[in-house]
Amino acid sequence: MEKKVFSIQGEELRTLTLADEVFNREVNDGAIYYAICNELANCRMGTASTKTRAEVRGTSRKPWKQKGTGRARAGRRRSPLWVGGGVVFGPRPRDYSYAVPKKLKQLAMKSILSLKARDDRLKIVEDFSVASGRTKDLVAILKKLVSDERTVIVLKDDDELIKRAGANLPLLRFLSYNRLRAHDLFYGRNILMLESAATKLNEFYGGTKAVSE
């Protein structure tokens, strides 16, 4: 497929031919679902914890004798039946992360890119940086390219200056072409992809090089 390349002023510069395997394939909803669920699960801390009857503080002495008081039998104050006692089957620290097949991840990324390209939510822009590292300079560029919605910028390399400029923008996310996140891509209303990143994505997922005209 062919996508137009825009300048940072929002003007059309040229046409870039992208691999259909990456940007124009059939969307697999199941792969997208499993990739997003996997990312959310891997982000969970899993640090919730409660104490069992063996861990709570308290005496193990029998509170009153077994018979003759008219009250129910009681063994110790650490019982789960008592206030301040242990918790039965409560949450314990655990690891929620799990692995999904590499091919499924790749299929999910290609499906999301194809979905965004089909819905005209993907825009290729010439390579640029923010030399000053200032937020207002980046905002001035974004206003000419996308609307004021959740935006994802796909970079070729880790550009610290442009990331510093966008650190204060709550609706902006940065991704590298080889470390994409399905959750950010899918829920991003606008995808801004640097031309060099688009070329690398073609090679990374499709095995072909992008051709500009």
Q: pLDDT in tens for each of the 213 residues of the chain?
A: 888 999 988 888 889 888 889 898 999 999 999 999 999 999 999 999 999 999 999 888 999 999 999 999 999 999 999 999 999 999 999 999 999 999 999 999 999 999 999 999 999 999 998 998 899 999 999 999 988 889 999 998 888 999 999 999 999 999 999 899 999 999 999 999 999 999 888 888 866 666 665
Main-chain phi, psi angles of 191, to 5 degrees: -115, 115
Task: Answer whether CATH 3.40.140.10 is correct for domain 2-27+108-212.
Answer: no
Asked if 177 and 201 touch (Cβ cutoff 8 Å), the reply is yes
List the one residue out of 41, 144, 52 whose CA is nearest residue 90: 52
User: Domain-by-domain residue ranges, the chain?
Assistant: 2-27+108-212, 45-94
Main-chain phi, psi angles of 128, to 5 degrees: -150, 165
Total length of the chain: 213
Q: In terms of pTM, does the model score above 0.75? A: yes
Distance CA 62, CA 49 (A): 27
